[in-house]
Amino acid sequence: MSSGSFSESLMRIKNSKSWVSYSFSHALLGSVMLLLAAFIIRAVLNPYIQPYAPFHFFIVSCLLIAYFYGYKPALLGVMVSALIGNFFFVKPYGDFGAVSLSDVIQFLTFSAVALLAIFFIEQLQRTVYALNTSVKIMASRQNISLQRENDRLYFAKKQSQSWAILEEILTDFDELLCLQYGAKNLQFEPLFLKLSHSTQHFFVGDEWLELIHPDDAPSLLAALDFVSTDSVKKVTLRFSQDPLARQHAVLVESYAFMNQTLKVVRLEKKLLDV
């Protein structure tokens, strides 16, 4: 993906401002705890560092709020920190008192640093959120592509197997007696009609059973009803009602073809004479 198209994909992510996973109540509670921690640390250190750095610890807490909870609680934290810091850690302590030039400079410095840092943190968080979302989208698309490729390979394999079956049937087409696809009736080939001396090309129901010896019919029907794929059953057929008729070695082959069972009844090349 080029840099231009990737930038466009980031721009299309409209909800990057929703990167915060915390609810408002959790964000508010966490912000209060961070501000309280900054106040306690500054109060403990106040005898050692006064009157310097009245807002430094509050800057850190506001940045942590911006990092964890977003810019809205952070902006609120800046306002609260400005009031608390000015009231407790700027002389005269415990009183807002008169505003001096140094107080204004400290306040502006604190506000500028805090607001600028909060702005950049928010922009970085939105960018990270957009990047993570883009990565998830690309991963999802890749998975879909892989699934489609697997499906294509699967159907190509099935098609290849189907063509292999058709090629085998067509190669030895002269030996075919009949075909049965799924639960449909048998489709008889010219060789069957020739061996049985039948002038009838179409049969209704089980009329074709009259063309073979009754003792051989059960074995053929059993082989046709046998539910299996990639199997071969061998039976012996006499294409006449005469018990002394010539016996033929017949193979009943089963294949999985287009989600159905294909039965191929073919004449074995070797003839059996009785």
- Quick: pLDDT tens for 179-197: 888 776 788 888 898 898 8
Q: Would you state the pLDDT for residue 63?
A: 93
What is the pLDDT averaged over residues 91-95?
73
- Name the nearest CA neighbour of 16 among 160, 134, 100: 134
The mean predicted confidence, pLDDT, of the chain is 81
What is the pLDDT averaged over residues 27-34?
91
Q: How far is residue 157's CA from residue 198's CA, in Å, rounded to a whole number?
A: 40
Q: Would you state the pLDDT for residue 121?
A: 92
pLDDT in tens, 114-166: 999 999 999 898 888 888 888 888 888 888 888 888 887 777 666 666 666 66
> Which secondary-structure segment (H or E) carries 250?
strand 247-257
pLDDT in tens, 195-204: 988 888 788 8
Domains and CATH numbers, the chain: 3-144 (no CATH), 172-272 (3.30.450)
Q: Would you state the pLDDT for residue 272?
A: 43
pLDDT in tens, 33-89: 999 999 999 889 888 887 777 888 999 999 999 999 988 999 999 999 988 888 888
Q: Would you state the pLDDT for residue 50?
A: 79
Q: How confident is the model at residue 13 (pLDDT cuts 50, 70, 90)?
A: low
Would you say residue 208 has pLDDT above 90?
no
Q: How confident is the model at residue 10 (pLDDT cuts 50, 70, 90)?
A: very low
* 159 CB-contact burial (10 Å; exposed 0-12 / middle 13-18 / buried 19+): exposed
pTM for the structure as a whole: 0.49
Would you say residue 210 has pLDDT above 70?
yes
Q: Would you state the pLDDT for residue 274?
A: 39
- Residue 213 vs residue 13, higher pLDDT: 213
Q: How confident is the model at residue 11 (pLDDT cuts 50, 70, 90)?
A: very low
Q: How far is residue 212's CA from residue 202's CA, in Å, rounded to a whole number?
A: 16
Q: Which residues, in sequence order, are CB contacts of 199 under 8 Å at separation 6+?
A: 193
- Residue 141 vs residue 272, higher pLDDT: 141
In DSSP terms, 264 is beta-bridged to 179, 253
